[in-house]
Chains A and B, each alone.
Chain A
């Protein structure tokens, strides 16, 4: 599964940069979010809130750009291949992923020995990567719903009434942060469990042969 080459075609420079932006923003958002939830040292609230808002705007713009770019930028179609096609095709489920979801689960639960055939991304990976899109927008929505200047706008006040007020929305916002934290933990783990070559290509843009 990971004994393959990692070429730049898998992650073109533009997506290396969007990935960096995601990572930095997520760290800033989680850190400042924890601080806003409960200030664990003094003298930082104004900065924490500012950081939280800036990082949120940047990550939303970055995500939107990333989705649009997927329709224009070409990426590798297979692991360890330089053959490219439009990125969105490699992002959405493909022929290779068909019937492989439960096989992938079985593989990770040690119920089968051989690695499963997949395209550039496996079935579970694609579900996770696609799910983060609505989750990120939803997280921004729950954030705006508890943010003073926007909470009275109909679209947000309606949501507040639906969940039973800002306290509940705050708790939902807080739990969703944990969803992102757990996602990041699993993502980093699975990407690097075989070797660190995936990190070399996505962070250093350094190719490896096997």
Chain B
């Protein structure tokens, strides 16, 4: 990518056989993600085409599976999103760059000195083992040191994927690597660079494009303007690893509504038509996946609208229940994925327990206790007219003689 990103955007589009019509259509969908009218498509196109030079970017990998890189890089033919992402000049992109070693590290140091770049951070921030849960490059250079270096002088950090947002699946219980999110860690280091959070596992490349377009179009690369002009949802989050209380900024156009509310299977939910078994006829008929654990009602992303793999399909449409990867602390909050509710991690001999089991046990014990109590009441001869009543309170009987009773 970095090697190909030269020349004006329209040349790139032309060379790759993307028509102007396709491009404008794509700009329209970007407008929708940004909460703008589709009539803004020409302006978006102009912003992308009119930018004089490429926006330098560093793609940094933290503790991750590289799935987010896969998500944007593994396309079998160049699509519009890929080409627009080429508009970023990636000067460091560990997984796909050709350079390596000292020269690659030099790219980072040089860019940080010059400034005027954005950081796209993929993966969790691993704080465990004094930061040595993740090291890269120079011996003993921790992932923490790299993040601190690149974030301190960046225009903005785009935290892509749930791992970068709050630690993602890497921080799932018991989190031995001390994984956490970029925003929490930067806040603890007192680094004020704004962090835009784009959760889901992996991130949807079109949402990165939407943020890049917003930075170019609305804000003209001015980050303060970018933050002020974008409509955000703020998720308050208490991070256990850093003890920081973080306000996570997420674009409202993408993370403002639940999957459930925009789901193509929603009609079947209201009708009470559910899939009981995965792979069944009901699933093929598009019935609702609620009973097989769909977390769509608790997950706030635009997946049903943007969809994935160049708008071909997405999890629920393909017949898989949503596993809630766009939420915070998403693994612990949603596992087991095929159950309606998450397990309660009680630990010890009890282990993981479903809330439904706890409820039924509490109800059952209460019912059994009442039956036993009722038998006791009968045995004590209280049933019928009740017990003989006391004539004075026990308290008064004890103290009454001395103090004159309960007055």
Residue positions of A touching B, CB distance < 8 A: 1-3, 37-39, 41-49, 95, 98-100, 103, 107-108, 110, 112-117, 146, 148, 152, 158, 161-162, 164-168, 170-171, 174-175, 177-178, 181-182, 185-186, 189, 193-195, 210
Q: Is the CB of A158 within 8 A of B333?
A: no
Query: What's the least CB distance linking A77 to chain B, in Å?
Result: 17
Q: Is the CB of B377 within 8 A of A193?
A: yes
Query: What's the least CB distance linking B246 to chain A, in Å?
Result: 11
Beyond the given pairs A2-B386, A148-B258, 9 more chain A to chain B contacts, judged by CB atoms under 8 angstroms and listed by A's residue number, are A38-B340, A41-B272, A42-B272, A47-B272, A99-B396, A99-B406, A167-B324, A174-B341, A189-B374
- Which 3 A-B residue pairings sit nearest by Cβ, starting from the closest? A3-B385, A1-B386, A99-B395
Closest to A47 in B: B272
The answer to whether B318 has its CB under 8 Å from any CB of chain A is: no
Knowing A115-B390, A175-B359 touch, does A167 contact B258 (C-beta < 8 A)? Answer: no
Q: Is the CB of A167 within 8 A of B382?
A: no
- Subset of 8 A-B contacts with CB under 8 Å: A39-B290, A115-B390, A164-B329, A167-B298, A167-B324, A171-B355, A174-B341, A174-B355
Q: Is the CB of A165 within 8 A of B382?
A: no
CB < 8 Å neighbour of B389 from A95, A99, A114: A114
Interface range on chain B: under 10, 10 to 19, 20 to 34, or 35 or more?
Answer: 35 or more
The answer to whether B145 has its CB under 8 Å from any CB of chain A is: no
Knowing A37-B340, A174-B359 touch, does A167 contact B390 (C-beta < 8 A)? Answer: no
Q: Is the CB of B333 within 8 A of A168?
A: yes
Knowing A117-B390, A181-B363 touch, does A45 contact B341 (C-beta < 8 A)? Answer: no
Query: What's the least CB distance linking B368 to chain A, in Å?
Result: 11
Q: Is the CB of A171 within 8 A of B387?
A: no
Q: Is the CB of A161 within 8 A of B237?
A: yes
**Given the complex of chains A and B, what is the CA–CA distance between A164 and B237 in angstroms?**
8
Q: Is the CB of B260 within 8 A of A148?
A: yes
**Given the complex of chains A and B, what is the CA–CA distance between A172 and B325 in angstroms?**
21
Q: Is the CB of A165 within 8 A of B386?
A: no
**Given the complex of chains A and B, what is the CA–CA distance between A122 and B375 in angstroms?**
22
Query: What residues of A have a CB within 8 angstroms of the CB of B333 in the complex?
Result: 164-165, 167-168
**Given the complex of chains A and B, what is the CA–CA distance between A2 and B383 in angstroms?**
9
Contact with A along B278-312 (1 / 0, CB 8 A): 00000000000011000101100000000000000
Contact with A along B368-386 (1 / 0, CB 8 A): 0010011011001011111
Q: Is the CB of A100 within 8 A of B366?
A: no
Query: What's the least CB distance linking B391 to chain A, in Å?
Result: 8
The answer to whether B192 has its CB under 8 Å from any CB of chain A is: no
CB < 8 Å neighbour of A103 from B374, B382, B393: B393
**Given the complex of chains A and B, what is the CA–CA distance between A186 and B359 in angstroms?**
16
Knowing A3-B385, A170-B341, A185-B367 touch, does A164 contact B328 (C-beta < 8 A)? Answer: yes
Query: What's the least CB distance linking A108 to chain B, in Å?
Result: 7
Closest to B382 in A: A194
CB < 8 Å neighbour of B366 from A42, A146, A185: A185
Q: Is the CB of A100 within 8 A of B367?
A: no
Q: Is the CB of A42 within 8 A of B273?
A: yes
Query: What residues of B have a CB within 8 angstroms of the CB of A112 in the complex?
Result: 394
